[in-house]
A and B are shown apart, each in its own frame.
Chain A
Amino acid sequence: MRWELSPNQVDLYTADQAAEDPSTYLVNCVYRITGPADEPLLAERFARLGETYPVLASRVVEDDGAWFLEAAPDPPQLRSVQVADAPDGAAARLRLREELTRPLDLAKGPMCRAVLLRYAPDTADLVLIAHHLVVDGRSMELIARGVLTDETTEPAADWADWAAAARARLPRRAGRAAEIRAELATADVVPSLDWAGAAGDAPGAGDTTGGGVAEALLPAALHRSLRDLGTELGVTPYSAVLAAAALVLGRNSGAARPVIGTTVSRRSPAHATTVGYFNNTTPVPVLLDGQATVADFLREVHQRGVQAYRDADLPLSSVLPGAGLTAPQLVVSAIDTLPALREGDRHAVPHEDQGLGTAHFPLTLGLYQEHGRTDGIRMLLRHQRALVTEEAAALFFRQLTAVLAHFTDHPDRRLDDVDTLPAEELTALLATGRGARLTDPPAALPELFAHRVREAAGRTAVVCRDERASYGELDAHSRQLALALIESGVRPGDRVGVCLDRGVGQIAAVLAVLRAGAAYVPLDPDYPPQRLAFVIEDTGLRTVVTEGGLLSDVPGLHRVAPDAAPEDPGLSLPVVDPEATAYIIHTSGSTGRPKGVRVSHRNVAALLAATREEYAPGVRDVWSYFHSLAFDFSVWEIWGCLLTGGRLVVVPYDVSRDAEAFHELLRAEGVTVLNQTPSAFAQLVNTEAFRAGGLAVRLLIFGGEALDRGVLLPWLDRYPEDVCRPVNMYGITETTVFCTWHPVDRAEALRGSRSIGRPIPGWDLYVRDDRGRPAAPGVPGEIWVGGAGVTQGYLDRPELNAERFTEDHLTGTPGARLYRSGDLGRFLPDGQIEYLGRRDDQVKIRGHRIELGEIRHALLEDDRVRAAASLVRAPDGPATARIDAYVVTDAPRELADIRQRLAERLPGYLLPATLTAVPELPLTANGKLDTALLPDPRPAQPSSAPAPAETSGPETAMAALWERVLGLPVGPDDNFFDLGGTSVQAVLLATALREENYPAIRLRDIFRNSTPRRLAAAVAPRTDA
């Protein structure tokens, strides 16, 4: 006698085979027995259960691609163990845990076991374990009753009949399954769980941490109002919780149509006393229409839930994409509660949930079914730790409660008005993103410079090659030029271009423009002429300080030489208003023409005030001036130095392009404050000279790009943190160079992190969702910046200004404004902010969101890779999008192996299509990676036709095996799922591989390495060992 598995059992069996932990799908209940246990009686009853409910005494056998249950050779047995510890003592608990987690061998059977743990003559625990494949919650109650009471309930209908009927129904339901698949194709089946993960998690890292569990209680008042609302709207409290869970998940994931699962019991009344697995997890697509009222939303979700129930005869694998390997991220299910059982003097009371460190889904929200209970709804939150941290699970529950409270309080409001955080947390969140306050009064830069001149006019201010100028000389020089500019017609509020090579004269010119009350417009002579022409026109420049042949072909421009002298040196300079514009720097942005950003004296003065205490820049500091005047990193370099009395070492353009020469300059001049983009810094630490050391840098500031893991390690080896502080600073031109700072220590340099730290004093940062509301901690949103750094906005772009610079309604400070950055970020639990890339840069390849930084990180983990970059190219439209990766390596011949190792660390969708070795990464004039200059890629793999050399490789043998199981031709780079492989075939393949020479293979290996080549690479080392 044998029974073929029902469709829902097949899904569960596949999930069990794919699970990391073989005890994942064990179901248990534990009864604390007081009074005489009567062990022989319990043992006899337990043995008899195998006859009453034959599935309990079965095992799984495979026959011709299908699975069956058949009677196991050994019947179920109750063992009895004397435990030498008090009940609930440490040893007793350990023992109990052992019993609960010991796997059941499905191929051997039986499907259940029982242990009586005896602590004292009148105290024991009865542990009942069964595999989920043959039980559900109700079954466990039947089993417990069968052992602990004399109620003998012969089942009214057999499990086998139900299974056969369920299987037989399936072909007739193929049409409906196709409809559901089509509907789900337009929904967010796998909403991102980025919000729930730990900070800086590399993909696939640390995935074996099991499951966590947390108890929670929806308070009685909320329970009551939910019931009332449900009665009014005709929806069940369960549906309301489902709706709230979908809203929280959707908001946290940025999914407008999240799909969540609900566990449905298809047990019919006739099977009320049958032991078997009647459950199915079924997908509920939920449309989050922000304009709908809460009441309509609840009714809609309720109807969706009802429909999902009606469709729950269709196994999940038949309606979800991905050949049954996709599972909902969040599942809501009802939890059956077990009764206390009494027989004569024996009292048996069920233990609370045991939380065994396994979880079936990333997040499962269980609602206890407790008839008549009115003092709240007990809930259980299970989560897979690899995807959902303890903090995220707790947050999810707080969000759920807040949303349910909002639902019941304001059923007539729009869904968009529902906040997914409790009000007090929203307030706290706003406070988290606010830096310390600044108390300095607004100041203009010439005034601050004058202080330094008064202090020590004789001290050196600027050095460039052999030229140097003291503070006094710089003061005199800039005063002369400022007067000359005024004589030539420049007035406060005007704009004056500065087109000079880096040098003492250029610094004096910039200072002169400011002293004349005008704003300087940088025109970098090394920039392309079209770009300069654009900036000149965009800013309406009439006057430019320049020399030689620069800009000689631009008509209508009044050219003033940097050494111009005024006719009347006795004129006085204007008093400069701190609110005046100090400079206009153009940002490219990713779309449209460059925009000029107007930054005031007050903004720059605030930046200096913000950093004064932490960095304590002073007269003994030597700063390098490395960056183009047109890149606002230079604003920090120039004014950070000259307004604090330091010595500014100009890095001439040719030196800035030659890392060896730059290192020599840093050493010779004794530079103490070094500002670098990570790309340029990577070249610096790769120099020969770096190995010899000799630098005096005490403060190393990164800006302009994300800081990769590992880049800093060689530096820290030579210059530990107590000698030189490395700080990563995130900033935006529109908010005055920097917004946040983040000291990077060795641990973090090793680990890698996308944290940009906290706002600098005076600056405020907010992470807001698409509705403009603060996003919950961990939830990605757009970074908005407020406070002292918010600049005057774009030059002559009223529409863009209205969109990007808005009134600060979050703090309500009169006159204050917010800047909407277009950058994505999220708050970490400790209040730091993690940078998640540009909003516009979010690329999707075949439905997967690609984070190029993750690929770069993974490449840099390889010791042979010194620098790496990746980008998405779509030569013929989005359908042809692919990832190209570039590496700087001393071992270009090992490229194939580098790629192989990358394949072990990255999921398939993140694996670059090409990997190309380059001698160095090209940089833009600003020192950032210049993707336009990267060469065309070389295909990393010979194209799909197998090369002759490969016919004997492990991937060929692997492909041959696949052919046998799948029954079609398979190449080494064919994807299992693209070949139409199902989860059932994956299980069969795993079995076949185990019988061949891959004894250690697990089902998940196939899921993660879904081509023969990758699978062979992933498992070969283990067989060799």
Chain B
Amino acid sequence: MEFDTDPSLPSSENSAEVAENLWKEILGNSADLGKGFLENGGDSFRAVLLSSRLYELTGREVEYLDVLEADGAGAIARLLTADVAGS
């Protein structure tokens, strides 16, 4: 799908912060940043929620499945900074 890409693409530090904040917002304050989304008790519903919030905050679209399969908050940050051209 093609959508206008946000001109102010998040930088990597920025991404890490957004990812970690959302990780705790969705999975709870005690969520482990270094553990997988599912291992933290995440489910499909929370994955959709997280990807919606990501879009609201950054304008970047991340597949909810990629959130579901994320092995930690770092994976979300990487998804945010990944080159999306051609996806």
Contact = CB atoms under 8 A, between A and B. Distances in A.
Contacts of B38: 230-231, 234-236
A231 B41 contact: yes
Contacts of A265: 48
A208 interface: no
B49 A165 contact: no
A270 interface: yes
B81 interface: no
A6 B40 CA distance: 37
A237 B55 contact: no
A813 B35 CA distance: 54
Interface stretch (B13-21, B60-68, B72-80): B60-68
Contacts of A269: 51-52, 54-56, 61-62
A272 B44 contact: no
Interface in A216-261: 227, 230-232, 234-238
Contacts of B61: 268-270
A306 B70 CA distance: 13
Contacts of B1: 161-162, 165, 268, 270
B45 A309 contact: no
B39 interface: yes
A632 B34 CA distance: 74
Contacts, number: 55
A334 B52 CA distance: 17
B45 to A, nearest CB: 5
Interface string A270-281: 101000000000
Nearest to B53: A269
Contact of A236 (B3, B43, B49, B55): B43
A238 B43 contact: yes
A499 to B, nearest CB: 75
A157 interface: yes
A7 to B, nearest CB: 15
Given A269-B55, A371-B45, A157 B3 contact: yes
Contacts of A334: 44-45
A164 to B, nearest CB: 10
Interface string B22-38: 00000000000000101
Nearest to A166: B1
A237 B69 contact: no
B44 A234 contact: no
A334 B49 CA distance: 14
A234 B39 contact: yes
B68 A310 contact: no
> Which of the listed residues A230, A231, A268, A269 has the most CB atoms from chain B within 10 Å of its own CB?
A269
A162 B61 CA distance: 14
Contacts of A232: 39
B83 interface: no
A389 interface: no
A238 B55 contact: no
> Which of the listed residues A235, A268, A309 has the most CB atoms from chain B within 10 Å of its own CB?
A268
Range for the number of chain B residues in contact with chain A? 20 to 34
A369 interface: yes
Contacts of A157: 3
Nearest to A227: B41
Nearest to B50: A269
Nearest to A165: B1
A489 B65 CA distance: 85
A282 to B, nearest CB: 13
A198 to B, nearest CB: 36
Nearest to A336: B45
B45 A369 contact: yes
A411 to B, nearest CB: 15
Contacts of B52: 269, 272
A263 to B, nearest CB: 12
Contact of B65 (A237, A272, A306, A371): A306
Contacts of B62: 269
Nearest to B39: A231
A306 B3 contact: no
A230 B43 contact: yes
Contacts of B68: 236, 306
A306 B42 CA distance: 15
Contacts of A161: 1
> Which of the listed residues A157, A227, A230, A231 has the most CB atoms from chain B within 10 Å of its own CB?
A231
B49 A309 contact: no
A269 B39 CA distance: 24
A310 B65 CA distance: 8
Nearest to A235: B38
A237 B38 CA distance: 10
A231 B1 CA distance: 32
> Which of the listed residues B41, B44, B56 has the most CB atoms from chain A within 10 Å of its own CB?
B44
Contacts of A227: 41, 43
A333 to B, nearest CB: 11
A304 to B, nearest CB: 13
Interface string A294-326: 000000000000100110000000000000000
Contacts of B65: 306, 309-310
Contact of B44 (A231, A238, A268, A270): A238
B28 to A, nearest CB: 10
B55 A270 contact: yes
A816 B54 CA distance: 67
Contacts of B43: 227, 230, 236-238
A371 B69 CA distance: 19
A165 B2 contact: yes
A871 to B, nearest CB: 51
A244 to B, nearest CB: 16
A371 to B, nearest CB: 6
B33 to A, nearest CB: 16
A165 B2 CA distance: 8
Contacts of A270: 1, 3, 55, 61
A234 B54 contact: no
A309 B69 CA distance: 13
A231 B40 CA distance: 6
Contacts of A306: 65, 68-69
B26 to A, nearest CB: 9
A115 B38 CA distance: 43
Interface in A176-234: 227, 230-232, 234
Contacts of B42: 236
A298 B49 CA distance: 24
B10 to A, nearest CB: 15
A310 B61 CA distance: 15
Interface in A533-555: none
B65 to A, nearest CB: 6
Interface string A349-389: 00000000000000000000101000000000000000000
A272 B55 contact: yes
Interface string A137-169: 000000000000000000001000110010000
A69 B12 CA distance: 43
A236 B41 contact: no
Contacts of A230: 38, 41, 43
Contacts of B56: 269, 272
B82 to A, nearest CB: 15
A232 B56 CA distance: 31
Nearest to B46: A371
A237 B46 CA distance: 12
Interface string A890-904: 000000000000000
A310 B38 CA distance: 18
Given A227-B43, A238-B43, A269-B56, 10 more contacts: A227-B41, A234-B38, A236-B42, A237-B43, A268-B61, A269-B51, A269-B61, A272-B55, A272-B56, A334-B45
Interface of B: 1-3, 36, 38-46, 48-49, 51-52, 54-56, 61-62, 65, 68-69
25 contacts: A165-B1, A165-B2, A227-B41, A230-B38, A230-B41, A230-B43, A231-B41, A232-B39, A234-B36, A234-B38, A235-B38, A236-B43, A236-B44, A238-B43, A265-B48, A268-B1, A269-B51, A269-B56, A269-B61, A270-B55, A310-B65, A334-B45, A371-B45, A371-B46, A371-B49
